[in-house]
Structure 1
Amino acid sequence: MTTKFFRIFMLLLLVAGVSFPLFASAMAEVTFFSQSTATVAYQGNSVPGYVTFELKTSEPTRGYILAVGNGVQTKINLSTTDFKTVHKVEWVPWDDTKKVPLPAGEYQLKAYLSDQGYNQMQGYPLGKLTVVNETNPKPLIDQVSINPSVFAPKYGGTETIQIPFNLNRPAEVQLSIWQNGAEVYGGDKIKLLPGSHSVSWNGKDNAGRVVADGTYDVNFAFIETAYNYPATRQSGQKAGTVTIKDGDYNIPLWRVKQVVTDGFFSSDVISPDGDGINDTVSGQFTLAEPAKVSIYIANAAGAHVKNIFAEQSFQAGTHTFSWDGTDFYGGKAVNGSYYIRAMVIEGASAGYITLTDSVRFEGGYEVKALQPEKRVRVVADNTQLSVYPAGQGYTAVKGDTFPLISETIENGRYEVLVKEGVSGTINVSDVELVADSDVPGVPTTIDYTVVSGDTLWKIAAKFNTTISEIVKLNNLDPNKYLFIGQKLKVPAADSPEPAPQPVIHSVQSGDTLWKIAQKYGTTIDSIVKANNLDPAKYLYIGQKLTIPSSTPNQEPPAVEPVVHEVVSGDTLWKISVKYSTTIDVIVKANNLDPAKYLYIGQKLTIPR
């Protein structure tokens, strides 16, 4: 019944004296209707992939639009529960009954509405819509870029990866980062309209910890919302990859050092043999600020042998502990050197430091290499060893060698001596047997006591060894200062006097070859040859020059000098080559400043 006839009918009833409740009213009218496109396609590309309908009524209503045509009719829900005067929906041409896109063709649009008085509007004509097929459907998300594609998230940093994208249809979108088939990060779910958008990622996982270095898949999880009944499960679309490199997966060492400032054992030896002497060892560690820490006893390979404190909160200050020489399983530790290893915990992140002081465990099991010694060399770029105790991980790099403990291969692995007192196993496929002639001799060491003024460089030079070798022998942190009286093991050498070592000079403002040669008591010629320089060219600030050891100047033979007249293009280098002499000889003979230009016609004495 139309509104006009309804009103006439109501007027006649009133004239006849028929009364009605006060809440009775006429059916609401459609006051406005629009659609964003007359032609639509499922996942459209050349035509829109969705259509927006807007319908307004004079009174609050709820209901749907029915699309009828091509032997099909399907509902387009406006509101199924709430009464509204303004209905606005996005819709894709989808058949909810058959769960397929609507067939191509023309569809009539009709409104079916109900107001709060339960008055019905049935089949109100709204217009028509043409559906077409697309041979090249458009994805929901495209035009994705990842900037930067290589990212190094840092401790306390605020940098993020920016991921702009274009959305072609209305959807609820969520950034999702995956690796090896598992999600490591899921962002917020955001309902978006079509257009340009951007999301970001700070390189952290769902727990807020910086992820490990590696390559990660950048995915979008989504639910398209322009359906009568949107999906309840997300779909996914891979957008690209990002590489995390040099990220702070663990709290960086500099930060851990700010928290844990010191730690040492009360004695040098622990020998739990029940005689009441050195059966236990006490130790202490110092915190500069309140922190949650775990304290471990670690072996020379850094593997945890005993957990002293597990994720315990401490105030700033010095704290003590005791170790009875047992490992995780309650048995005696293996003979060797042991260290205090601290783990600092901040939120979901953790970082480690191994303190330099050590205690020797004696009287237990001795881990020994085969005699005569046989070694294996790592041939893989990186390989993981399983080490004592509890099969903890230890990473070796290509070229590392390890003495064999046994030649027997078990489960495809050799048993090797990883460090003093630390056994481990390594894949046979990752190593090669070292020929006897290639086996390095086990270095004989001597004890050295640090004195005032000592540095690792000075000690290495004194004993004709390297800083790296001293660091390895003593499990040192090379960034930490030595202290007077500290005991170090150094390789014994036939001669404690080192061979002359070249010095590296960093060029500073005002430096010239002449000034540098004078500073180090050498010659310009020696510096030029050692660094393959063109002396006519300027030095630059920060340039590294190798300064060879000074050698006594040899007196040139007493030959009558010649006089050279400078011509265009001459340099001291060219002149020295021409006369088979050196720049230094010419400079000294003529009292020149080699930093200044020669001038045409200048007379130079050339000693022969």
Structure 2
Amino acid sequence: MTTKFIRIFMLSFIAIVIAYPQFASAMAEVTSFSQSTGTVAYQGNSVPGYVTFELKTSEPTRGYILAVGNGVQTQINLSTTDFKTVHKVDWVPWDDTKKTPLPAGEYQLKAYLSDQGYNQMQGYPLGKLTVVSEANPKPLFDQVSINPDVFSPKYGGASTVQIPFNLNRPAEVQLSIWQNGAEVFAGNKMKLLPGSHSVSWNGTDKAGRVVADGAYDVNFNYIETAYNYPATRQSAQKAGTITIKDGEYNIPLWRLKEVVTDAVFTSDVISPDGDGVNDTVTGQFTLAETAKVSIYIANAAGAHMKNVVTEQSFQAGTHTFVWDGTDFMGGKAVNGNYYIKVMVIEGANAGYISFMDSVSFEGGYEVKALQPEKRVRIITETAKLSVYPMGQGYTAVKGDTFPLISETIENGQYQVLVKEGVSGTINASDVELVVETVPPAVPNTAEYTVVSGDTLWKIAAKFNTSISEIVTLNNLDPNKYLYIGQKLKVPATVSPEPVPQPVIHTVQSGDTLWKIAQRYGTTIDAIVKANNLDPAKYLYIGQKITIPSTTSTPEPPAVQPVIHTVVSGDTLWKISVKYGTTIDAIVKANNLDPAKYLYIGQKITIPR
């Protein structure tokens, strides 16, 4: 019976081993163990601030290393879930139980492992580790620099600021830019080993738009990964400060010109009086590529009067819009010139481009300056004005002057004429009253009475003087029409004067070649030649124009004139180019007013 029982037991055991071979396997062995340092300190300085352990086993295992010494024992996790044959971990000497740095002293290292057959290795000796204290532990980041520390980010992220740094312990690192207590940019999270690294920033915010000028804090968000149980919440270290200056916060003008090539009104006047004539005005804009745009009607100060097209995508080509002469609130606009202002939207970025073509609003309220005129001058470096309509912003600079609409100071502000047809208010503390000086007496003047058909150009030619001289003598606005019976002072005699040197004119809103020529008493052709301009193209605000001497060579007498019939698209410039003559010669030959438009079918005598 005993022998038979033993045989049955042995056969059963063999069957179990065959069915469950893991019961028969031996415990995995430690094949190698290494550590990057034998001495470590919390955060380190003269000795490393962390240690790297590498343990290899003959079979896949999981478990931990136990550091025992100085009345303390703490686990160093190798793998808590996955079975591996190679375990490699970075470890900071930290007591996870007490949440404090591990006390200085010597620690024995023992392995506690389990294989896939659930065989256990308990307290396998690996060696020892010495922990010391450092008087001046290292921060996680050092040797940080910001290059450049004054940065001008460009549209499209073409330029970047570089931020090199040294990392003293393994960590997950993220660049973070802050201003006024708010995070404006966060970079990618990167798991980095100790050593030299660098991150960059192109000056954009979280939405990809270039940030506004100002000072920004450069921070590193981080999680140190060499702790036994890495944190899940980031800490932060300030790396320095960067100043953003002259950044392309808005889409730059060069890009706007690439997208929007032209915008014009199809008529010159809008007078919404319900008579069916010029009650609305049609405009058109031309895109060189598909774009999302908004179209605004703007006054002479650049303030938005009405949004006539709201954020729509258009294909390349010419598109139209209509303005009914009202403002944002549906009220009637005031008299003055109005312009087309296009906003281009590209992703999170936007920018405005204005065009010089204008439409004259007539039949509404007229904003007038005091008569006789009184002005105020800006005495601060910059001053903010609140302008029509809806109190929009307008910035003036030191030295700018504005005519008063009222001498009364209300709520600490003057009411001024900002631009033609645009009223505004400005703080009285930002201005001073302009003291008028008595102009010197002008000898040898005569009085002239305006008759039908007169223009400043004709009167100046008649008395052999310049438009600017007549404007100065009579304190005129050259943009306003004369009226029959108006009394003007004109020079009685004009003595020859030396040829004046050219002056530089900066183009302002509303300027045209004709207006500039009128203002300086010269001709369109002279300005075109002096600046090598294409008169068919629009001027842009801020453009520098050289004004040549008003002395010019008289045109040769017309010989064998021909007759030109005006067709659609004709201008005085196009006609003069076609026939090889000048605008002034055509004006003189036909007694024209260059400020008025030609009409289809009009007969023009061409001097040759």
Q: Distance in 2 between matches of 1:362 and 1:463?
A: 39
Aligned mates of 1:381, 1:73 — CA distance in 2 = 69
Could you tell me how far apart the structure 1 residues matched to 2:368 and 2:303 are? 18
Q: How far, CA to CA, are the matches of 1:72 and 1:132 in structure 2?
A: 15
Rounded Cα–Cα distance in structure 2 between residues aligned with 1:59 and 1:492? 95
The aligned amino acid for 1:135 is A
1:65 match: 65
Q: Which residue of 1 aligns with 2:351?
A: 351
After superposition, the C-alpha distances for 1:452-476 in whole angstroms (9 at most, x for unaligned) are xxxxxxxxx999996546x336256
Q: Equivalent residues in 2 for 1:371-520 (5 A)? A: 373-405=373-405, 414-429=414-429, 431-437=430-436, 444-447=476-479, 467-468=504-505, 471-472=507-508, 474-475=510-511, 482=513, 487-488=514-515
Contact conserved, 1:374 with 1:439, CA < 8 A, in 2? no
Question: What SS class does the counterpart of residue 436 from structure 1 fall into?
Answer: coil
Letter in 1 for 2:31: T
Cα distance, 1:358 vs. partner? Answer: 0.9
Residue 118 of structure 1 aligns to a residue whose secondary structure is coil
Please give the secondary structure, in 2, of the residue aligned with 1:256.
helix
Residues 121-141 of structure 1, C-alpha deviation per residue, up to 9 Å, x if partnerless? 222222222222222121111
Establish whether residue 360 from structure 1 lines up as the match of residue 360 from structure 2. Answer: yes
Match of 1:207 in 2: 207
Bigger shift: residues 178-187 or 230-239: 178-187
**Whole-angstrom distance in 2 between the partners of 1:218 and 1:186:** 10
Q: Give the superposition deviation at 1:190.
A: 0.8
Which residue in the other structure is 1:117 paired with? 117
Shift of 1:103: 2.3
The aligned amino acid for 2:515 is: L
Deviation at 1:322, TM superposition (A): 0.5
Q: Deviations over 1:31-88 (max 9, x none)?
A: 2111111222222112111111111112111112222233332221111111111111
Q: Which SS does the other structure have where 2:328 is aligned?
A: coil
How far apart, CA to CA, are the structure 2 residues paired with 1:300 and 1:131? Answer: 76
Q: 1:59 corresponds to which letter in structure 2?
A: E
Aligned to 2:290: 290
Partner of 1:277: 277
Residue 184 of structure 2 corresponds to 184
Find the aligned partners of 2:500 and 2:518 in 1 and give their Cα distance. 7
Counterpart of 2:163 in structure 1 is 163
The answer (yes or no) to whether the contact 2:358–2:510 under 8 Å persists in 1 is: no
* Inter-CA distance 194–492: structure 2 relative to 1 (3 Å threshold): closer
Q: 1:248 to 1:74 in 2, by over 3 A?
A: same
Amino acid in the other structure paired with 1:474: G
What is the root-mean-square deviation of aligned Cα atoms in Å? 3.6
- Cα distance in 2 for residues equivalent to 1:64 and 1:198: 34
Measured in 2, the distance between the counterparts of 1:251 and 1:288 equals 16
CA distance in 2, matches of 1:49, 1:181: 32
**Counterparts of 1:101 and 1:213 in 2: how far apart (Å)?**
44
Within 5 Å, which residues of 2 pair with 1:169-248? 169-248=169-248
Q: Deviations over 1:390-425 (max 9, x none)?
A: 333322222223344456666665544322232334
Residues 54 and 89 of structure 1 are in contact (CA less than 8 Å); yes or no, is this contact kept in structure 2?
yes
| 1:197 CA drift (Å) | 1.1
**1:178 alignment partner AA:** W
Asked if the contact 2:157–2:203 (Cα under 8 Å) also holds between the matched residues in 1, the reply is: no
Q: State the partner residue of 2:563.
A: none
| Match of residue 314 from structure 2 | 314
Corresponding pairs, count: 468
Return closer, same or farther for 1:369/1:69 CA change in 2, 3 Å cut-off. Answer: farther
What is aligned with 1:136? 136
- Match of 1:26? 26
CA shift for structure 1 position 173:
1.0
* Contact 1:414-1:426 within 8 A present in 2 as well: yes
Distance 1:411 1:223 in 2: 55
Shift of 1:375: 4.2
Q: TM-score, normalised by structure 2?
A: 0.69
Task: Determine helix, strand or coil for the equivalent of 1:474.
Answer: coil
Question: Which is further off, 165-174 or 438-447?
Answer: 438-447
C-alpha spacing 1:475/1:22, structure 2 compared with 1 (3 Å): same
Partners of 1:302 and 1:193 in 2: CA distance: 55
With over 3 angstroms needed to count, the CA separation of the structure-2 counterparts of 1:273 and 1:127, relative to structure 1, is same
